[in-house]
Structure 1
Amino acid sequence: MLAPLLALIPALAAPAPQAVEPPAITRRFIPLTAQRRADTAAYAKRHYGRATSEIARPLTIVEHYTVNDSVDATWRTFAPNVADPELHELPGTCAQFAIARNGRIVQFTPVTFLCRHTVGLNWAAIGIEHVGYSEREILSNPAQLRASLRLTRWLRCRYEIPVRDVIGHAESLSSPYHRERVPALRTQTHGDWQPWAMRRYRALVREAGC
């Protein structure tokens, strides 16, 4: 149950931001209609035991890659509030941020909107999408990697998220915050950002500090 878990987390009010300047971020919000918020709350109730469209406090950051060619294509995937093609469930999928190949950071929703991007972790996770088709592609792109590290650093320091809780989608099942009430989905994960890549990425995050 989500409620007992939340009771164990101290100071659920957003912590005081650390002295880290945010990177340049372009806002391009997807439509967050009343219906989408209601569908999100219903989803959270089914999967996490608490009807809400908001994250009480981000506890983890999940890195993804888009398997497409652009931020535009990613926005078009996330904008419609339609059942996803994989799990066939509302609300539509989304992540809070996307990073273009040229390093431009685009924000799709408020940071604490409960986006569907990682089964079992959406109640507590900020999702960052990277335009591209593989970890190697992103790690070898200096502009995109630099922007990714700046965004992750800012979010991590702002919400006091430990480096160990910056994870790849493929690591979702090992997160201490993984919670899933639907039995068929308790082992559901994806292959993006494998542990080998995240070990390298986390080393860079750790080096950046706060």
Structure 2
Amino acid sequence: MLCMAVLFVRTCIAQESSIRIIDRPIVFDQQRKDLSLDYLARRHGIQQSEPYIKPRMIILHWTAISTLDSTFNVFNPSVLPGRPDLQAASRLNTAVPFLVDRDGTIYRLLPDTTFARHCIGLNYCAIGIENVGNNDLTDAQLEANVQLMRYLKSQYDIEYLIGHYEYKDFIGTPLWKETDPNYLTKKTDPGKAFMKNVRKRVKDLNLKGSPLQAE
């Protein structure tokens, strides 16, 4: 069970370079576990005994929140605070395994393959990376995302890299799993320019993008 904890630094080896990740776990109590398993069953049609994923995709986001601590406080509760549009689908709070601060510091909020609610239709197979900020993401965040993607690709069978704004392009593909065809939201994060720059930096990883768009 995960809970609030003193920060500590873990160094991971990604391919031939090192990546510094600071563990700052959000609450993952029995309530969050139960809500995660319920979400997997009701929204994705997947019955499991434990809330873990087999990642095939990385999805990049921005928080639309200006500070690390404010973002952490939003993700930390097990139950979604407010957001009636999302509450109608599930009380499970949104979260991601990784949060990148403005200075490029990478925080791990959950173990890499823990199920987290961050992208309709694709949560069950996607690791989410949130970037603190909006359409003003920094060069340091770009560099951190590139390092993190190289680490994740070295650890897991990752095939796809997309921005959150591209998620609806997977509707109708074998990867799409959402039981309610009307449950959709409009997204623009993390911005097309940011995604273009990231893709240039990780071109050698040969990750697939949106099935409908080529950038």
Distance 1:22 1:93, change over 3 A: farther
Aligned partner letter, 1:199: K
Partner in structure 2 of residue 96 of structure 1: 97
Q: Does 1:39 align with 2:35?
A: yes
Identity among equivalent positions (%) equals 30
- Scaled by the length of structure 2, the TM-score of the pair is 0.79
Q: 2:179 aligns with which of 178, 181, 184?
A: 181
Q: 1:27 aligns with which of 16, 23, 44?
A: 23
Partner in structure 1 of residue 86 of structure 2: 87
Distance 1:189 1:159, change over 3 A: farther
- Scaled by the length of structure 1, the TM-score of the pair is 0.80
Instruction: Report how far residue 159 of structure 1 moved.
Output: 1.2
Of residues 17-26 and 66-75 in structure 1, the stretch that sits farther from structure 2 once superposed is 17-26
Give the ranges of 4+ consecutive aligned residues of structure 1 lying more than 4 Å apart after TM superposition: 207-210
Aligned partner letter, 2:126: A
Q: Counterparts of 2:79 and 2:177 in 1: how far apart (Å)?
A: 24
The two structures, once aligned, show a CA RMSD in angstroms of 2.3
Partner in structure 1 of residue 152 of structure 2: 155
Greater helix share, structure number: 1
Structure 2 counterpart SS, 1:62: strand
Partner in structure 2 of residue 172 of structure 1: 167
Q: Counterparts of 1:208 and 1:71 in 2: how far apart (Å)?
A: 29
Structure 2 counterpart SS, 1:24: strand
Whether contact under 8 Å (2:63, 2:131) holds in the other structure is: yes
Gaps of 5+ in 1: 1-16
Instruction: Report how far residue 209 of structure 1 moved.
Output: 7.5
Aligned partner letter, 1:48: H
Partner in structure 2 of residue 125 of structure 1: 126
Aligned partner letter, 1:168: G
Whether contact under 8 Å (1:20, 1:157) holds in the other structure is: no
Aligned partner letter, 2:179: R
Distance 1:20 1:155, change over 3 A: farther
Q: Counterparts of 2:118 and 2:71 in 1: how far apart (Å)?
A: 12
Instruction: Report how far residue 54 of structure 1 moved.
Output: 2.8
